[in-house]
């Protein structure tokens, strides 16, 4: 009888359970709903702000595109918006020069720092150097702008000269051609029977790489041949602000970003891969180059893309050390002063509530910003597709 009564009481207790009873107190449910609403509102506000920015950018850019005489946006040999000359190649080429040189500085140094911190440094060393690297990321860009203008430009860039530029350019070209040769050799070694579409893509890619190498050779030679004859010697170039100094400053500013993201990508590679490589007798360098780096290639590419976007969008360093004011003459030489897209926008709008000048001067700022937005968007989309293709999942 006792067992029967216990069983009946247990059944009654189970039977009293309900969804309402398991839901908890009503006060807790209201608090969770309130928190959910706050987070939803925050996300909607962020989306709304982004939409409003894009709408205003497109609206003013459309005004510029529909009213401007497009002949003044190309081949005018200079960006002079207050006089109605909107030569976009001036800004695009300067932005490209600054971005390329900045990544030549930030890429190897940032990736090298990440490899050292992830693969070679002890825990004590990592705990010492990583905060220093992060502190460098917190240095205001205006400080680096002064540093680029008053130290990098006179003490580094102005001492290179044409011969120094030829040496640097030759090293870059040789390294680039070595990469092309290695990539081509790997393609030749692959199995026969590759699909025709894949073969066409490889041929087109190789053609683009070779064409880029030829353009690079022409650019280095043209820069070396420009300027006064006195600049042919080392330690003799005398200029103030210039794109190369600004680019080095931007590169220094980008190093911590590339290093931090790359180090996170390398640290996410499973330790088992390193142990397996060491178990097969591979050296530390071999393991790092042939195992860890390929496994983390998606994160490293993401780090470089973030670095490129950062360099492309940097304003203050280029504005201060780029060597141009609110106007710029077209140049393909990093030893001359010019304006990037961001610096052109900043210099044009500085010190006034409304941009003073020719009728479409104000709208030209939005047009330049719209072009910069499209470039960054395309860059991120292409990088995202590439990262998804090469990403390793563990």
Mean pLDDT calculated for residue range 322-342: 79
Strands 78-80 and 85-86: antiparallel
CA–CA separation, 244 and 157 (whole Å)? 7
Q: How many CB atoms lie within 10 A of CB 59?
A: 11
> Does 135 lie in the same domain as 249?
yes
| pLDDT at 146 exceeding the cut of 50 | yes
> Does 283 lie in the same domain as 209?
no
Q: Which residues pair with 329 in a beta bridge?
A: 78
**CATH classification at residue 263:** 1.10.3720.10
What domain range includes position 203? 162-236
Residue 112 has which token pair? 């090298």
Over the stretch 80-111, which tens digit does the pLDDT of each residue have?
887 778 888 888 888 888 898 898 888 889 88
> Does 386 lie in the same domain as 250?
yes
CA–CA separation, 241 and 122 (whole Å)? 41
Mean pLDDT, all residues of the chain: 77
> Does 213 lie in the same domain as 334?
no
- Report the half-sphere exposure of 356 (CA within 13 A, side-chain side): 4
Over the stretch 224-234, which tens digit does the pLDDT of each residue have?
665 544 444 44
Do the domain assignments include residue 315? yes
Q: Show Cβ contacts of residue 89 under 8 Å, excluding neighbours closer than 6 positions.
A: 74, 75, 330
Residue 308 has which token pair? 């490129």
End position of a domain, from candidates 236, 254, 287 = 236
Q: What angle do CA 249, 254, 257 make, to 5 degrees?
A: 160
99 or 155: which leads in pLDDT: 99
Instruction: Say if residues 375 and 312 touch (Cβ distance below 8 Å).
Output: yes
Q: Which residues pair with 79 in a beta bridge?
A: 86, 328
Residue 1 binned pLDDT confidence (cut-offs 50, 70, 90): very low
Residue 127 binned pLDDT confidence (cut-offs 50, 70, 90): confident
> Does 346 lie in the same domain as 255?
yes
Three-state DSSP at 316 gives helix
CA–CA separation, 130 and 126 (whole Å)? 6
Q: How many CB atoms lie within 10 A of CB 196?
A: 7
Mean pLDDT calculated for residue range 8-35: 65
Which candidate, 307, 303, 281, 390, places its Cα nearest to that of 118? Answer: 303
> Does 208 lie in the same domain as 150?
no
CA–CA separation, 344 and 167 (whole Å)? 31
Three-state DSSP at 10 gives helix
E strand or H helix that includes residue 80: strand 78-80
CA–CA separation, 121 and 259 (whole Å)? 14
Do the domain assignments include residue 314? yes
| pLDDT at 26 exceeding the cut of 70 | yes
Residue 48 binned pLDDT confidence (cut-offs 50, 70, 90): very high
What is the tally of structural domains in the chain?
A: 2
Mean pLDDT calculated for residue range 129-137: 80
Instruction: Say if residues 314 and 345 touch (Cβ distance below 8 Å).
Output: no
Instruction: Say if residues 342 and 315 touch (Cβ distance below 8 Å).
Output: yes
| pLDDT at 248 exceeding the cut of 60 | yes
> Does 342 lie in the same domain as 208?
no
Which candidate, 308, 166, 339, places its Cα nearest to that of 242? Answer: 339
- Which strand ranges, in their side-by-side order, compose the sheet holding 85-86? 85-86, 78-80, 328-329
Over the stretch 176-214, which tens digit does the pLDDT of each residue have?
788 777 777 766 655 555 666 666 777 777 777 777 777
Do the domain assignments include residue 196? yes
| pLDDT at 359 exceeding the cut of 50 | yes
> Does 373 lie in the same domain as 270?
yes
> Does 295 lie in the same domain as 254?
yes
Do the domain assignments include residue 347? yes
Do the domain assignments include residue 62? no
End position of a domain, from candidates 236, 256, 289 = 236
Do the domain assignments include residue 25? no
Mean pLDDT calculated for residue range 250-273: 87
Which candidate, 104, 105, 103, 126, places its Cα nearest to that of 263? Answer: 126
CA–CA separation, 213 and 375 (whole Å)? 22
Three-state DSSP at 381 gives helix
> Does 133 lie in the same domain as 97?
yes
Which candidate, 42, 24, 30, 91, places its Cα nearest to that of 319? Answer: 91
Do the domain assignments include residue 360? yes
pLDDT over 90 percentage in the chain: 2
> Does 152 lie in the same domain as 166?
no
User: For residue 335, what is the DSSP state?
Assistant: T
> Does 141 lie in the same domain as 88?
yes
Residue 45 binned pLDDT confidence (cut-offs 50, 70, 90): very high
In this prediction, residue 76 carries a pLDDT of 72
Instruction: Say if residues 117 and 292 touch (Cβ distance below 8 Å).
Output: no
Is pTM beyond 0.75? Reply is yes
Mean pLDDT calculated for residue range 216-243: 59
Mean pLDDT calculated for residue range 361-365: 80
Do the domain assignments include residue 375? yes
End position of a domain, from candidates 181, 215, 236 = 236
Q: Show Cβ contacts of residue 231 under 8 Å, excluding neighbours closer than 6 positions.
A: 161, 162, 237, 335
Instruction: Say if residues 234 and 161 touch (Cβ distance below 8 Å).
Output: yes
pLDDT over 70 percentage in the chain: 79
Residue 393 has which token pair? 């999942």
């Amino acid at each position: 009888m006792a067992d029967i009564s216990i069983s009946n009481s247990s059944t009654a207790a189970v039977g009293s359970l309900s969804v309402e009873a398991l839901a908890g107190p009503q006060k807790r449910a209201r608090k969770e709903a309130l928190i959910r609403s706050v987070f939803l509102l925050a996300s909607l506000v962020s989306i709304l702000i982004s939409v409003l920015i894009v709408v205003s950018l497109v609206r003013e850019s459309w005004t510029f595109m529909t009213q401007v005489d497009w002949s003044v946006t190309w081949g005018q040999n200079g960006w002079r918006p207050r006089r109605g000359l909107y030569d976009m190649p001036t800004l695009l080429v300067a932005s490209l020069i600054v971005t390329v040189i900045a990544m030549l500085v930030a890429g190897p140094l940032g990736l090298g720092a990440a490899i050292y911190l992830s693969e070679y440094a002890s825990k004590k060393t990592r705990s010492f150097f990583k905060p220093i690297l992060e502190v460098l990321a917190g240095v205001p860009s205006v400080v680096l702008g002064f540093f680029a203008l008053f130290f990098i430009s006179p003490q580094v860039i102005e001492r290179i000269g044409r011969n120094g530029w030829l040496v640097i350019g030759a090293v870059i070209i040789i390294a680039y051609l070595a990469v092309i040769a290695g990539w081509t050799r790997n393609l030749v070694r692959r199995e026969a029977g590759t699909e025709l579409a894949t073969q066409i893509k490889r041929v087109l890619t190789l053609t683009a790489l070779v064409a880029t190498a030829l353009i690079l050779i022409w650019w280095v030679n043209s820069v070396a041949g420009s300027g006064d004859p006195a600049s042919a010697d080392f330690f003799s170039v005398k200029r103030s602000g210039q794109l190369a100094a600004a680019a080095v400053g931007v590169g220094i500013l980008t190093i911590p970003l590339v290093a931090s993201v790359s180090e996170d990508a390398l640290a996410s590679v499973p330790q088992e891969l390193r142990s397996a490589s060491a178990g097969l007798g591979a050296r530390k360098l071999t393991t790092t180059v042939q195992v860890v780096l390929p496994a983390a290639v998606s994160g490293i590419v993401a780090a470089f893309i973030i670095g490129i976007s950062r360099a492309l969008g940097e304003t203050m360093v280029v504005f201060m050390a780029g060597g141009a004011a609110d106007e710029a003459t077209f140049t393909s030489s990093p030893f001359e002063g010019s304006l990037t897209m961001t610096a052109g926008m900043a210099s044009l709008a500085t010190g006034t509530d409304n941009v003073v000048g020719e009728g479409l001067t104000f709208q030209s700022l939005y047009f330049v910003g719209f072009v910069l937005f499209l470039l960054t968007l395309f860059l991120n989309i292409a990088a995202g597709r590439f990262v998804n293709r090469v990403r390793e999942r563990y």
